[in-house]
Structure 1
Amino acid sequence: MKKVQSSLTKLRNLLDITVFKILLFVLLGVILFLAMFSNVKPEKLDISLFSVAEQTIRSPITIEDKESTEKKKKEAGDQVKDVYVLRKEIAQNRVDLITSVFDSVIEVKEEVKEKRDEDNKVNTSVEEVKQEVSETSPSDMLTMLKGKLTENVTKEISDPVLSQLLQANKDELSIAKDLTVTAINNVMSTRIPADEVENAKKKLEEELKYTSLALNLKSAVIDLGRYAITQNEFYDPVATEELRQQSVESVEPVKILQGQIIVEETQLINREVYRQLELVGMLDNENSMQPFIGLALIISIVMAALYYYFYEMNVPIDKKQSYLLLFSLIFVLLILLMKGISLFQEIDYSEIGYVFPAALGAMLIKILIDERLAILLTIIMAICGSIIFNEGVTGTLHITVGIYIICSGLAGILFLSKQNQRSKILQAGLFVSAVNLVVILSLLLLRNGQYAPVEYAFYFVVAFLSGITSAVLTIGLLPFFEAGFGILSTMRLIELSNPNHPLLRKILTEAPGTYHHSVMVANLAESACEAIGANGLLARVGCYYHDIGKTKRPQFFIENQMNIENPHDRLPPQTSKNIIIAHATDGAEMLRKYKMPREIVDIAEQHHGTTLLKYFFHKAKQNGLEIQEADYRYPGPKAQTKETAIIGIADSVEAAVRSMSHPTTEQIEGLVRSIISDRLQDGQLNECDLTLKELQTVADTLCETLKGIFHSRIEYPEMTKQKVKRA
């Protein structure tokens, strides 16, 4: 063990140099990289087109299949039908056209009539009238009508049709007009594509066929209506393209998902399967560096987070280096254990990752260092576990194992937050096992798969083993880490505070007054330390042992002089001084003999610092001795930590207040502040990092605690009588 501690001391000294500290993190990163190298190394498949797959092949990555996506988009675009729009204004235009034809016919007839009436007024003889009428022949009327119509209309409507209209009287034309316009509206109110124009014309013809018009006029009206019927539904290229674009954009990209089966065992590798294998990089990936770059980046982030955490850790340098070495050792141990367990996946134990003692590292770091670092380690282990236990599918992440490790580690940390006894570690393991069972059950249910009872039993057994193994290994490894690194854990402190400890029993039996004094000082020091954020538990336990040296000569200390004469009354000041001063060095030697933690030894050795034994110093001067003040001071060293300094103040305060008879609140406050002021002026606090603000808080806390201890009590009649008798 001494050789181990010597080696660790050398390593700690090296870590004081920044370069070696960085090298340590680089070494941890290299170990991580080597452990996960095979899990991210791309798998090279020796397969050919139209061969039979010898194994089920899954995709190592999620990637878009652009060829399939484009094919799907093309199909979606092709399925979009052309957009045709109904132009309702065409129907109105054709109605207006036919209406204008009828109006033109009526106008021609009215013009002929007006001209005839004018001629009748001028020409009185019958022969002249007949001659004038005969001058406006049907051909002239037809010519007049064509003059009122457009060239396109006259080309499309035959002369016989126009002639028949001119031969009809005004009433017949009005009826024919209404029937024709109505029929045109009815037919053209529906869509008439190019290939349905003839059918629409036949429909109009059928509608006009059964009207009451004269046969010749009916025939003319039908021809006129057929001319009016035309296409009113037309292809819209802009709307068609917009609809086609919307359909294409709505197509979701075709993706090959990570872990998706590309080809199953014994299945033929056709061109499509071969193309997908090539797409995910499983045919020619021997020289791919991307997975290794990704792994290196993840490891860099993890190492940077750890470096920053230890850089910002607010503990003494030597303790920080010990913590760093301890963490590194536990970290490497966990990675190697995880990698070793993952090798069983190759023999068809794909879910063997659940047996990993996920709470082991979290509980060790929680007990030995602190809770925040334990949580950080749990997260890192979850990341590493999801890569290492990836079921042999390179490039994938086993997310369920990562979730399992996080939940298991946090369960162990939470249980030990308030349970610091070593005996509680096994209970923590049982608690972790219970959490593991619930987590695995929830993950199985989330998969929505069908599992046999044997499979459920397997999962539950490995979950239980994970929790119990974590506890057993924690209990087994804890003493080695505590002894090897000299770490005083919370659990170790609580064990040292047990009254059955041999040294505490020694104080209790051999120096009961000192024991009572130590307990009182412990109460004062713990409350003061906690008030400023120092380690209150360390202060309490240190107080229990700080006067262990008095057990060598208990009767020479006033708290143990019950009903006996003070031996210092018969001794010269020099001898008394040596006896009193020796209790600090004697106590430190006894604690070292019992291999007590260094922090406890330091408290026993430093709690008086280099203070002056004022009583014996002044007594020696009164005796006329030529002495030096340094001869009547404790050898020190001065308090190096906040806890030791506060214990020294609390020790003096408790002894001083106990010597007072019925101290008042004002007397207690004055005494406390006077002692702190003396220590400050004497330079006893120069080597610890207590601030003036913290000293003020310590003074206030000590005063409050002392007021609670030395509060005034009601004097009962019998107590008064006893005092009178004594007087």
Structure 2
Amino acid sequence: MNLQDYISKVRTLLSYKVFTFICFLILAILLYGVLFYNVKPQTYDIELFSVADKTIRSPKTIVDEEKTKDEQQKAADAVEKVYTFQKEKEQNRVSLINSIFDFVTDANKEIPAHIKDKEMEKTDKKTDKERLVDLKSKLTSDVNEDVTKSISDAVLMDLLKATPFELEQTRNILNSQVEQLMGEKIREDKVRQYQGRMEDLIRDSSIPTELKSAAIALGKYAIVPNEIYDPEQTDIRKKQAMQSVEPIKILQGQVIVQEGHLIDHESYHQLELLGLLKSNPTIKPYIGLGIFVFLIIGSLYLYFSTFRVSEEKKQNYLILLSLIFIISLLLMKIIGLMADLELDKIGYLFPAAMAPMLIRMMLNERFAFIITIILAACGSIIFHDEITGSVNIEIAIYILFSGTAGILLLTNRNRKSNILQAGFFISIINILIIFFLLFLGNGQFTKMEYLYYTIFAFVSGLLSAILTIGLLPFFEAGFGVLSTLKLIELSSPNHPLLKKILTEAPGTYHHSVMVANLAEAACEAIGANGLLARVGCYYHDIGKTRRPQFFIENQMNIENPHNHISPETSKDIIIAHATDGAQMLKKHKLPKEIVDIAEQHHGTTLLKYFYYKAKEENDHIDEMDYRYPGPKPQTKEAAIISIADSVEAAVRSMTHPTPEQIKNLIDSIVQDRLKDGQLNECDITLKEIEVIKKTFSETLNGIFHSRIEYPNPK
């Protein structure tokens, strides 16, 4: 009992959905288990201020948020305060001084003219007070700034007592000094300094002595800060400074602790941040691996759910694909564990093209490309350059290109020698990929390292071919997979069944070869499996070897035995060749696809000759008794062989057929099959049928072409 039989037993106990779910679940668990160690963070039992017993490198690149914030704050603190120079304040302060002098001048003009000097002397005290009150009232109400709070009454009285000439002289000098000093940038902390300069300038000026004190007071009052602190702009510059600070990163591969060195606060903080301390474990890598496995299994599930084959085949493909993938994964893991040998880039030894070539030969190219991408992703985790949790992009590129090369270079899948040839070319491509990666990285390598990498690449390609050849028979036998190599093996004339046909029914053998030529050409024309059709044709009439003389192609120089038996007996003998052939093929353990062709190549067609012959004897004959038991053709290959079988026999019976006669005959046979519903159970289209008819005509015209008649020489 082979592996396929065990699978069939399990399948009978479970529904398709349950069986598929279990397969995907097992695959997910195995994938997670194999990659678990490679993503598991390596932790250390380390204490602050202890001496490191080994060198510890960072397994990943991470931002040190705390240190980054400290550096950002330092940058912000280093930003100086932003001050805005308000040029307009110079004119404002000059205008304020002028306003004060204007009010003083107005107050002096309001003294009644009829008051005599003596009367003024008598009423002077009262008049000064009245004028002062009036002046202060105007200064308070008409000026934006309450001058009276900063200028004393004594200063105002000095101004009120001055003559118009003295006021004008003082005004001009004071305005000039205010313009001069306020034209410079004055911050809050320099106001006193500039007020002192104002005082010195006024003392050295030509202002009347009795007004100098008042002028000094007004001059100092006019000096105010004109370079003002701008908190908004300062805040913007601080933020810009903080943003300009590059994040402080601990880089992947960076040495955190050197062997024999003391573990200080900085090193301990970095170890803690990286999750390398046993006291501070992290689960993020496990979650990441779970997401990775989910994506892979989910992608496979979606692809299989849209794959248009029977549920039984779909399950076989799933198990086959899973086994090849697991074998490749285990090989990858074993080579990854060889890193202890201290051989750099040991991952290049992995036979990356093995799985893609196996899957292409037994399934199809699309599955092969999918498995190549998945293996490349897994390889990037397993071969992580001794940095746990990291991803090796170089090895992923290497596996991806090597696997793709295996798929593309396996152009002729009909010989095992071609697999070895493909393996040799894969080795060359592997070497080119490695040197591309090495030179692109501009690293410094010794000649011995270059030699190691070349050997790894060469061995990888050849090992892929050798393992493919070695494992292929086991998968073919275990799963009943009909690969191209298996078909080539079955097509050999040395096969016992083909020898049996050749020796016992040579006419049938010749007929089978002719049908094979027709069927293969038609299959290739519509994109079906031409090789399967050819090999199926070789065996489709194997049942005729039990009674070869009852079939017309083997009746050479003998009388037709059907002339001496009843139509019913003849019918049983003819119909039996399909079921007998299927039994013989099963007995010799030929693939199911070949057995199906033997069973289906006549479908449920009617044996018209014997049916009408029997009807002549008994009008109540049931037509169903004279039909083949079927089933009808289920695949394109079986349908094409069914038509080709009838076409070849019909054309062979014609004498010197013309192209037009061949075309009409093919059209008639195909039309008869369509009307009889023989092609209803396969997915062949009307467009493909037209291509098949055209191919049959071209092939038969090439076989039965007319010879050119040369004139006889005189």
Interval containing the TM-score (normalised by the shorter chain): 0.7 to 0.9
Contact 2:108 2:131 in 1 (8 A): no
* TM-superposition CA deviations, 1:478-522 (whole Å, max 9, x none): 233223333222344456567898988998999897677556544
Asked if residue 278 in structure 1 is aligned to residue 265 in structure 2, the reply is no
Secondary structure, counterpart of 2:186 in structure 1: coil
Secondary structure, counterpart of 2:669 in structure 1: helix
* TM-superposition CA deviations, 1:101-129 (whole Å, max 9, x none): 333454456556xx55x67xxxxxxxxx7
Contact 1:550 1:587 in 2 (8 A): yes
Q: Measure, in 1, the Cα distance between the counterparts of 2:356 and 2:184.
A: 79
Cross-structure match for 1:37: 36
1:304-323 equivalences in 2 (<5 Å): 304-323=298-317
TM-aligned CA distance change 1:205 to 1:531, over 3 Å: farther
The CA deviation at 1:381 is: 1.8
Q: Measure, in 2, the Cα distance between the counterparts of 1:23 and 1:56.
A: 44
Q: Measure, in 2, the Cα distance between the counterparts of 1:522 and 1:712.
A: 15
Percentage identity across aligned positions?
50
Q: Measure, in 2, the Cα distance between the counterparts of 1:520 and 1:59.
A: 70
Cross-structure match for 1:11: 7
1:673-692 equivalences in 2 (<5 Å): 674-676=668-670, 678-679=672-673, 689-690=681-682
TM-aligned CA distance change 1:650 to 1:266, over 3 Å: same
Cross-structure match for 1:75: 74
1:316-331 equivalences in 2 (<5 Å): 316-331=310-325
Asked if residue 269 in structure 1 is aligned to residue 297 in structure 2, the reply is no
Cross-structure match for 1:233: 227
Contact 1:549 1:587 in 2 (8 A): yes
Secondary structure, counterpart of 1:23 in structure 2: helix
* TM-superposition CA deviations, 1:110-168 (whole Å, max 9, x none): 556xx55x67xxxxxxxxx7757877979967974784354845963785797489656
Letter in 2 for 1:31: L
TM-aligned CA distance change 1:702 to 1:414, over 3 Å: closer
Q: Measure, in 2, the Cα distance between the counterparts of 1:292 and 1:717.
A: 77
Q: CA RMSD in A?
A: 4.7
The CA deviation at 1:650 is: 2.2
Q: Measure, in 2, the Cα distance between the counterparts of 1:708 and 1:717.
A: 16
Cross-structure match for 2:469: 475
TM-aligned CA distance change 1:21 to 1:624, over 3 Å: closer
Q: Measure, in 2, the Cα distance between the counterparts of 1:285 and 1:374.
A: 45
- Return the TM-score normalized by structure 2: 0.81
TM-aligned CA distance change 1:421 to 1:97, over 3 Å: same
Cross-structure match for 1:655: 649
Cross-structure match for 1:125: none
Q: How many residues align?
A: 698
Secondary structure, counterpart of 2:408 in structure 1: helix
The CA deviation at 1:367 is: 0.9
2:456 to 454, 459, 462: 462
Letter in 1 for 2:22: L
Q: Measure, in 2, the Cα distance between the counterparts of 1:649 and 1:272.
A: 82
Identify which range, 240-249 or 435-444, moves more after superposition. Answer: 240-249
Q: Measure, in 2, the Cα distance between the counterparts of 1:327 and 1:673.
A: 43
Asked if residue 402 in structure 1 is aligned to residue 396 in structure 2, the reply is yes
Contact 2:339 2:346 in 1 (8 A): yes
Contact 2:43 2:277 in 1 (8 A): yes
1:69-218 equivalences in 2 (<5 Å): 69-107=68-106, 116=113, 144=131, 147-148=134-135, 150=139, 152-153=147-148, 156=151, 163=158, 167=162, 170=165, 174=168, 177-201=171-195, 204=198
Q: Measure, in 2, the Cα distance between the counterparts of 1:435 and 1:325.
A: 30
Q: Measure, in 1, the Cα distance between the counterparts of 2:708 and 2:73.
A: 108
The CA deviation at 1:343 is: 1.5
Contact 1:165 1:220 in 2 (8 A): no
Contact 2:662 2:700 in 1 (8 A): no
1:371 to 332, 340, 365: 365
Contact 1:514 1:560 in 2 (8 A): yes
Q: Measure, in 1, the Cα distance between the counterparts of 2:118 and 2:619.
A: 179
2:560 to 556, 562, 568: 568
* TM-superposition CA deviations, 1:212-256 (whole Å, max 9, x none): 777877887566434422222333445444544454455555444
Cross-structure match for 2:375: 381
Contact 2:84 2:230 in 1 (8 A): yes
Q: Measure, in 2, the Cα distance between the counterparts of 1:631 and 1:598.
A: 27
Identify which range, 186-195 or 630-639, moves more after superposition. Answer: 630-639
The CA deviation at 1:77 is: 3.0
* TM-superposition CA deviations, 1:584-636 (whole Å, max 9, x none): 57766886788654423442454234544433555577799999978866676
Identify which range, 470-479 or 436-445, moves more after superposition. Answer: 436-445
TM-aligned CA distance change 1:591 to 1:399, over 3 Å: same
Letter in 2 for 1:14: V
The CA deviation at 1:360 is: 0.8
Letter in 1 for 2:100: V
- Return the TM-score normalized by structure 1: 0.79
Q: Measure, in 1, the Cα distance between the counterparts of 2:564 and 2:211.
A: 159
Cross-structure match for 2:144: none
Contact 2:158 2:211 in 1 (8 A): no
Secondary structure, counterpart of 2:228 in structure 1: strand
Q: Measure, in 2, the Cα distance between the counterparts of 1:712 and 1:431.
A: 38
TM-aligned CA distance change 1:707 to 1:640, over 3 Å: closer
Q: Measure, in 2, the Cα distance between the counterparts of 1:175 and 1:481.
A: 117
In structure 2, runs of 5+ residues without a counterpart are: 141-146
* TM-superposition CA deviations, 1:63-109 (whole Å, max 9, x none): 54332233233323322323333344433331112112333454456
Asked if residue 535 in structure 1 is aligned to residue 529 in structure 2, the reply is yes
Contact 2:42 2:276 in 1 (8 A): yes
Letter in 2 for 1:370: N
Asked if residue 701 in structure 1 is aligned to residue 702 in structure 2, the reply is no
TM-aligned CA distance change 1:500 to 1:98, over 3 Å: farther
Asked if residue 302 in structure 1 is aligned to residue 301 in structure 2, the reply is no
Contact 1:421 1:495 in 2 (8 A): no
Cross-structure match for 1:59: 58
1:615 to 582, 605, 609: 609
TM-aligned CA distance change 1:541 to 1:174, over 3 Å: farther
Q: Measure, in 2, the Cα distance between the counterparts of 1:506 and 1:316.
A: 34
The CA deviation at 1:577 is: 6.7
Contact 2:158 2:210 in 1 (8 A): no
Contact 2:155 2:217 in 1 (8 A): no
TM-aligned CA distance change 1:256 to 1:373, over 3 Å: same
The CA deviation at 1:644 is: 1.5
Secondary structure, counterpart of 2:256 in structure 1: strand
Secondary structure, counterpart of 1:231 in structure 2: coil
Q: Measure, in 1, the Cα distance between the counterparts of 2:637 and 2:562.
A: 37
* TM-superposition CA deviations, 1:448-484 (whole Å, max 9, x none): 4333333233223212221221122112222332233
Letter in 1 for 2:151: E
Secondary structure, counterpart of 2:53 in structure 1: coil
The CA deviation at 1:578 is: 7.9
TM-aligned CA distance change 1:679 to 1:154, over 3 Å: closer
Q: Measure, in 2, the Cα distance between the counterparts of 1:189 and 1:293.
A: 68
Cross-structure match for 1:416: 410
TM-aligned CA distance change 1:168 to 1:432, over 3 Å: farther
* TM-superposition CA deviations, 1:616-666 (whole Å, max 9, x none): 555577799999978866676654544223311222133334545687898
